[in-house]
């Protein structure tokens, strides 16, 4: 069967990750569409592929799947255009900047019978899949308490600037949409449960930032605290921050159940701690021979050879491409429905924070 042919929209850091991972997942990288011909040309020359001069030219080509890695405000238009042109789509998170657009895209993908994935790549660490299997079995029992955080430090200083700070480009939330969405998706995936209600506090710790055009008043969140109730009865407290010194990119969580506990962190992604009251605690190291079937299926290297950030994209893309080629194959990749759920939670977080109350998730 011919390899899936892919094009990438976006030439920044994450667009480059997508391009590299297309190749590692066995796809054929056809070309780039960038914010300018110069940026697209630089990326295309690096990978030895073509430059698309416009979205229309890309959609008229013979690519099978479009990877959307453009700024958040452009996700809806790029994904909508691709779906209407009969292309499968892998879209970066957040899927859109509004719940209405996200629901529209999920419906459109269903109507057209196309594969549509949201790039919540971090659920594709193998031990995250294994943790899900443990929760589904008897190892942990009924999950009761959850603690988690996703912390970075790249926007700590007032001189730190990025397009995500501007709500017109990045959307109404920043830390929540950019990294909190990963944390919430991962916990929902591991727990096998949706959020039932939440209480949120949003924090802007750097109220004025230095943009290339001068000082700018900041109206998006640098950090957030969430209290969360899931539909399976678990309750948790979560911290999200892009202003935590020394925390370069750290996602961590612990789940305490009636019979055991599990603890995982992206600092040591190949280790899963398992806690017990009446027996010895255990640190499980990633090894295809000892993992659940679902985790082994997304493990690429033998035990002792660390897998990290890049492999999560490869794992997600491999599943997406396999589903394009044969929809009957089992898959655990996040769909546009998962992307819409992320926007539903984002909306509830903003409501809770602005009205200072617990907010039930309306579905």
Q: What pLDDT, on the 0 to 100 scale, is given for residue 17? A: 98
**Segments in the chain below pLDDT 70:** 1-2
What's the rounded Cα separation, in Å, for the pair 302 and 310? Answer: 16
Average of per-residue pLDDT values in the chain: 97
- Nearest to residue 36, comparing CAs of 56, 16, 9? 9
Residue 321, Cβ neighbours under 10 Å: how many? 22
Q: What pLDDT, on the 0 to 100 scale, is given for residue 2? A: 67
Question: Using one digit for the tens of pLDDT, what is the confidence trace for 235-274?
Answer: 999 999 999 999 999 999 999 999 999 999 999 999 999 9
Task: Map out the domains of the chain with their CATH numbers.
Answer: 5-121 (3.40.50.720), 126-299 (3.30.360.10)
Q: What pLDDT, on the 0 to 100 scale, is given for residue 32? A: 98
Residue with tokens 């898959």: 331
Please say whether the beta carbons of 331 and 322 come within 8 A.
yes
- Nearest to residue 256, comparing CAs of 277, 229, 280? 277
Question: Using one digit for the tens of pLDDT, what is the confidence trace for 276-333?
Answer: 999 999 999 999 999 999 999 999 999 999 999 999 999 999 999 999 998 777 789 9
Residue with tokens 């995982």: 264
What's the rounded Cα separation, in Å, for the pair 248 and 39? Answer: 27
Q: What pLDDT, on the 0 to 100 scale, is given for residue 34? A: 96
Q: What pLDDT, on the 0 to 100 scale, is given for residue 334? A: 98
pTM exceeding 0.95: yes
DSSP label of 2: P
């Amino acid at each position: 069967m011919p390899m899936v042919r892919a094009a990438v929209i976006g030439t920044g850091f994450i667009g480059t990750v997508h391009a590299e991972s297309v190749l590692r997942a066995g796809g054929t990288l056809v070309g780039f569409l960038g914010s300018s011909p110069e940026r697209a040309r630089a990326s295309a020359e690096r990978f030895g592929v073509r430059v698309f001069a416009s979205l229309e030219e890309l959609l008229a080509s013979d690519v099978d799947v479009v990877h959307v890695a453009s700024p958040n405000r452009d996700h809806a238009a790029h994904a909508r255009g691709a779906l209407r042109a009969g292309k499968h789509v892998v879209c970066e998170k957040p899927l859109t900047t509004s719940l209405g657009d996200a629901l529209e895209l999920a419906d459109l993908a269903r109507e057209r019978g196309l594969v549509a994935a949201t790039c919540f790549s971090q659920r594709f660490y193998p031990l995250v899949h294994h943790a899900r299997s443990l929760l589904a079995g008897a190892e942990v029992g009924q999950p009761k308490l959850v603690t988690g955080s996703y912390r970075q430090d790249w926007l700590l200083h007032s001189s730190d600037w990025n397009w995500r700070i501007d709500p017109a480009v990045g959307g109404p939330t920043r830390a929540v949409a950019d990294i909190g969405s990963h944390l919430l998706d991962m916990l929902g995936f591991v727990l096998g449960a949706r959020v039932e209600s939440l209480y949120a506090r949003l924090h802007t710790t750097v109220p004025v930032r230095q943009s290339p055009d001068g000082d700018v008043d900041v109206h998006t969140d640098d950090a957030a605290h969430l209290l969360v109730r899931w539909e399976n009865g678990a309750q948790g407290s979560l911290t999200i921050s892009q202003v935590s010194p020394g925390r370069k990119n750290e996602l961590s969580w612990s789940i305490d159940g009636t019979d055991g506990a599990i603890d995982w962190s992206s600092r040591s992604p190949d280790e899963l701690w398992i806690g017990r009251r009446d027996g010895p605690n255990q640190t499980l190291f990633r090894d295809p021979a000892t993992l659940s079937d679902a985790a082994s299926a997304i493990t690429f290297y033998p035990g002792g050879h660390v897998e990290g950030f890049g492999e999560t994209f490869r794992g997600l893309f491999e599943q997406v491409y396999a589903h394009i080629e044969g929809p009957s194959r089992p898959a655990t990749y996040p769909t546009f429905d998962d992307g819409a759920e992320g926007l539903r939670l984002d909306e509830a977080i903003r409501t809770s924070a602005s009205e200072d109350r617990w907010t039930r998730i309306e579905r």
